[in-house]
Amino acid sequence: MKIKILLILFALGVLVTVVGVAIHAKMVGSTSFSIAQNSFVEPGTLTRDFSVFDAIRYNGYQFTTWFNVYPLVVRISYLVVVSSILVWLFTVVKILVNQWFDRRRQRIFSHLYEQYYDTLNEILYSGRRMSKEEIVKRMALPKDYAISSQRELDFWFRIYIVDHVKRVREVNRSNEMILLRVLHMREYLEHTLLEGTTSQRISVMQAVRYLSIPMNGGLVARLVNTKNYLLRREARLFYMINTYDEPFEMIDNDETFTLWDRMEIHLMMSQTNAMGKPLPPFYAQIQQTKDIPNKAFLIQELGYFGAPEDIELLLQYLDSTDDRIFRAAVKSFAHREYEPAVEPIKANYRRSSPHTRRLILRSLLKIHAGDDIEDFYAWCYDVSPDFKTKRAILRCLWEYSLRGKRKVVLLRRAASPKEQVLFLHIQNEILRSTETIKL
């Protein structure tokens, strides 16, 4: 496709050059053309045959002779303007060509979508197990059909992704696996992992992970330590979800995970947990990791996916002087609603920053356990200097219990005129509904 585009652009360039030569021929008159020979004369050498090379020589001659009388800065300016025009023309043509190809691909996809999507849904959501022959017959595909190009794979992937995004109930995994075999999608993906370019391998591994297509993790075992960072990252994430042979070894490295890495790893943990596969020993990983952001991230992952007996081991991190570690531990306890952590969390309130104090307040509301929490909230209100924290306290106290609502009424009676607006905000149902309490 790229070669065709380049050929089109080259032909347009030649056409523009020829038109330019014809225009120049009319403009320059007898000073550059011999009337007798009807040809351009460059002293002592050239005659005109109007070939492509002749046109190039002609324009070069015109450029060097027309502007010799001008200063160098004018000639450079002319060159810049002409170059800019050519770049602009190239860009416009390229955009138009790309739009044409995009519309063409969309038309093909729309046709395939109308032809196959409903049938695909019937197969995936059928309550019974279909045979390979029945699926081939329903899809109206040739018996020897197999995906043979990246473009063809992209079309099927788009249809499959549309269903995956709209999926609201569990599909028939048996029929899904047979359908993938009918399309020979897995074979093509494996071939791409072995023989494809780096970008194709990355695309394949991403698609396989997002769509939960089962594949042999051994295909990417040789890529988990490759020099290319993006390929190595995708290979390791792919390896995590597709193998039982120590799949979470990649977490042992001390490179700081980016935000995208954390999102990807969390997605992998969710899929692994949903598939019933063993999860990594989070606590051991936390102890081995020296990188603080990674350690904080793994503490939160333990809160999401760790075994109940491992949650107790996080109590020691409530004594951490690093705010990132402490906050991660508090979020984990709040997510699991771990009651034994209430008193240690309360004990760290005074030493914490305002930002962390508000996290403690929201976490205690989420755990919703412990003695005299309403009194603790009231005490926090008295010692808090800023309105943002006071508003968070009142919101948590109001949501905590009926006794908490009564505490809010008592606090309002003793509040200063400036603080009254906080109580109006909390007690107004409409204003309160516009805010959600998040950890």
pLDDT digits (tens, 9 = 90+) for 169-216: 777 888 888 888 887 778 778 888 888 888 888 888 887 877 777 777
Question: What's the token pair of residue 308?
Answer: 């109940």
The Cα 158–Cα 348 span in angstroms is 51
42 DSSP 8-state letter:
B
How does residue 151 score in pLDDT terms, banded at 50, 70 and 90? Answer: confident
Helix (H) or strand (E) holding 34, with range, is strand 33-34
The string of DSSP codes covering 259-302 is HHHHHHHHHHHHHHHHTTPPPP-HHHHHHH---HHHHHHHHHHH
Question: What's the token pair of residue 425?
Answer: 């905000």
Please state, as a whole number, how many other Cβ atoms lie within 10 Å of the Cβ of residue 24: 17
The reported pLDDT for the residue numbered 22 is 52
pLDDT at 135 over 80: yes
Looking up tokens 């990246």 gives: 150
Contact 264, 258 (CB under 8 A): no
* pTM over cut 0.95: no
The one-letter code for the residue type at 369 is A
Contact 305, 279 (CB under 8 A): yes
Q: Give 82-92 pLDDT, tens digit per residue.
A: 888 988 998 99
First and final CA of the chain: distance in angstroms?
50
For 35-153, where are the E strands, in sequence order? 39-40
Looking up tokens 């416009």 gives: 92
Tell me the H-state helices in 212-251.
229-242
How does residue 246 score in pLDDT terms, banded at 50, 70 and 90? Answer: low
Cα 12 to chain centroid distance, Å, stands at 38
pLDDT at 166 over 80: no
Question: What's the token pair of residue 178?
Answer: 């047979």
Question: What's the token pair of residue 350?
Answer: 């005074």
Residues comprising the chain, all counted = 439
Q: Give 217-245 pLDDT, tens digit per residue.
A: 777 777 888 888 888 888 888 777 766 66
